[in-house]
Structure 1
Amino acid sequence: MAVLNPNNWHWVDKNCIDWARQYFQNELTKLKIGGQDEEYFCEISKVSQVDGDCEVNQRKGKVISLFDLKIVTMIRGHVSGKLPFEGSITIPEVAFDSEVEDYQFMLSIYKENKELSEVKPLIREKLIPQLRQAFQRFGKDLLTEHGNDIQIPEQEVQSQYTKGNQHESFANANASAKRESRARDVKSDHTTCRTTNSTTTTTNVGNRTTLHVEPRFNASGDDLFLALTEKPRIMAWSRGSADFSKCSSGGIIVEGDQFGLFGGNVLCQVKKLDSTKRILEMEWKLSDWNFDGSMLSVELHESPEHHETTLQANWKGVPVGQEERVLDNFENYYVRALKITFGFGAVL
């Protein structure tokens, strides 16, 4: 990043959200508790969502990081040496001014029962503290990686004031990074490194990103799946706004069907429908997107002991800048509508 800023005096900022997504994908998937051959094992399998703001700024030589992120991680493992499970951990806010005890964690185990619930205390005791430390390292690593990009080199700065601020900013960040690096080296025998690709891609229509939400419903998995796939029920929760004119003649949508919702504001094409596994995949787009839509994958995970079903929704290919609009519409027109229409849960 080229900078023309005499003496590093003026405000300069750099958007680092793509780097943050890759950073958390790399760092958090190293975290685990137990081992594959032990009675209890849990690892972070991937980071499915990193949304919010993340940037590095400087003025008068002083470099700071500003970020406010929501992060969703997927977990998997086993209990009692053989019973596998999957789930998620949602962290609503990871911010530049968060202290180590400020982070909140929403833990979900899919298809939870009495046996699977045994892993929750272990996750809270051993995995969540690792997440807290990783989030505390992020701000320092962000400055170390990107702080130099928004300043001219220290040797080219004439002002002693800004040069002092510049030196102090990186001295503090580097010292903290070295301490964290030494701590990680001590623990390296207990972690395995795994990396995956970034969740943001660039296409001829701009950057795309992924989204992930997990609303819960007081309903069986079968009832909820029917509400999402049976045409009369779709017509009920969409307030009669569904258009099935391009669908097959049956009472349930099938693979290949195209339909519109909410007066044509949402357009869908079914790519996969598996009623046994309760999986629904479709191309999904808002009507004013002048390009191919995102892919929406819906999986239902029922927990009979808790009398509820978790709807795991994942979008791939959502245009950057449209995230809040997509999530707000999904919450208001899908989740709330399903709960109100069929009594599938309380509406806040």
Structure 2
Amino acid sequence: MAKWGEGDPRWIVEERPDATNVNNWHWTEKNACQWSQETLKKLLIGLEIEGNHFRCIITDLDKCEGEAVVNNRKGKLIFFYEWDIVASWQGNVRGRDDTVEGKMNIPNLSEENEISEIDVSFSLKESSETGNVLKEFLYKEGSDKIREQLKTYVKYLKEEFSKGLILPKKENISNNSKEQIQNLTSTFDKNVTVNNKSITKDIKSANTSSRFETKTLIMSHAFQCSGADLYRALTQVELVRIFTNGPVVLDVKEGGEFQLFGGNIHGTFKELIPNKKIVQYWRTKRWPPEHYSVVTITIEQQNDNTILNLMQIGVPESEYDGTRENWDRYYWDAIKRILGYGSFII
């Protein structure tokens, strides 16, 4: 029998910070359909193609049908994409009043074809002398410019969207992440101890009797993962420990306590609906004594991503900006970057 830690590396979970998909052995897949459609729209709509006497612009994306998927097998990324695109264009010849309209067709954008092999054709809504001149201009000058935008799409797919699909090993978590967590804890009282005092479930929402002004914080983020994955990222000790990069206390049940970042963030769970909703009484050590906010997190599963909505009632007005910044930096950005659930927007 192999000694502890000397067996088949696929089974040595200690080598992975989240103890899953050890050494990226298992096949994992990420759906890029919606992301691709949005990205292609941004890259093509509004694109101008100009010459000495001509000006054309892509005005709309009429059709963008197909699929795109990124796979990870044994630490190797495999890309599959296939799109059939139809777009509208308008153009004119300088010195002439008439505007010409037509269509652009890209039937074979796929990983099987080099960018230079991708067909880009142009047609006219109505044949005319001006239209024929512009169509010829687009064929000569516009095709390469369109292919450059398609090349950019492929680059973003491979370099941006696929980030995080190959998960890091524990020893590879960046020092930058550690420094960011240390920066968070340094903003609090370093000598403070964890508050073990129980918080009763009848804490009134937003501490309405407070003598200081409070605000309600609302934010929304998109994550490239399932709703179940995102819920686990917020409720499983192992995963929370990874993205916070420190010790965690997490008693995931109604009335159960949680403590993060050395106890600087702490509170209790008020309500839990698996994969759907988390409600917490939540505070930081910086806040006035015994003052808690009410945090409601809802998780909405979409076709190929998940939307997280947060509403936090009772944030001290003086702490509002810092609280919003810390949610973004130490929760959402960390989850996207370290767990690989990033949403990439151009």
TM interval, short-chain normalised:
0.3 to 0.5
TM-score by length of structure 2 reads: 0.42
Larger Rg: 2
